[in-house]
Structure 1
Amino acid sequence: MRLEKCWFCSSTIYPGHGIQFVRNDAKIFRFCRSKCHKNFKMKRNPRKVKWTKAYRRLHGKDMTQDATFEFERKRNRPERFDKNVTENTLKAIKKIDKVRIAREAAHHKNRMRPEKLRKQKEAVRELEQGIHLVKAPSVLQQDPSLTLPIKVKVSQQKSEENRMEE
């Protein structure tokens, strides 16, 4: 039993599933579902369609091909058994798992960095707009250290002064 890859989205096609399209030049295209087949017939580029593996790899959304994935690849040829090689392989698998976990964590951290900055900017903007709700304007006038480094104009002060004069 052979597992094929979808030409459009790169997902796995199991035996008895999917659609096969053979072009006039005898090139075979395999698709996992009709969605991929229809997009291929519409001449869409998989690198520009957001839900495909090609798009995710191209735009840095997925981890690109990593050397550690090579070890998990299934081999169809028989291997001779050697005890030393087996021991070394089992030791290497543990190291490879640690490396993969570290790389995935770094990848996730890099992907989340812009989101963290955006949230911080949003919080600062919200605080700037509502600083008068946190501290009363009279307290802000008495102790300037309570204000943010960015000057915030409080419109209530002027209206209070006008009332007192009248």
Structure 2
Amino acid sequence: MAAASSMSSVFGAVPGRVNGLADVPGIAVGHAPARDDAGKPVSSGVTVVACPSGAVGAVDVRGGGPGTRETDLLKPSNSMQSVHAVALCGGSAFGLDAAGGVMAGLEERGIGFPVFGDAVPEGPLVPIVPAAVIFDLPVGSPADRPGADCGREALTAALGALDELPGVSGPAVNGCVGAGRAAT
């Protein structure tokens, strides 16, 4: 097996800053915890992979009880060519509500699929945000579920990392954060 230093030059690939998804230009990752009524973080959350310029997406849904939203758009037989974000959510099927917050946040920023094409730039936009959930209800309280606000917060974190906004620094964090807060 070749040494790691010689492998880094294969096809001109060079390890990124953190050797992760966030090293890909135009893609950012953001996390947010679900919050209780007082705003305190609880056991669930959301992770958003944002690609505001669009990226080709694909999916392979597995398991006996998948919880997904908009994943059928990613089948090769459908006409959608790109996604603007992917929402990975805790909260079981309840967590799919978080994708609505991601969509709303993208729409506010003028990011989405132009419904009437490029000929009508002021026409409506529909952000394409496939989402999937994990079953984390037995960890913490089953009432700890991410909603639209949590999805919007994770999107803001992702876009902040992408744009290097003030107050947001460093690469995407790993571990029990975002959708993985209660993952076991």
TM-score class, shorter-chain normalisation, is under 0.3
- Structure ranking higher on relative contact order (CA contacts 8 Å, 6+ apart): 2
* More strand by percentage: 2
From the CA coordinates, give the structure whose radius of gyration is larger.
1
Query: With structure 1 as the length reference, what TM-score do the two structures score?
Result: 0.21
* More helix by percentage: 1
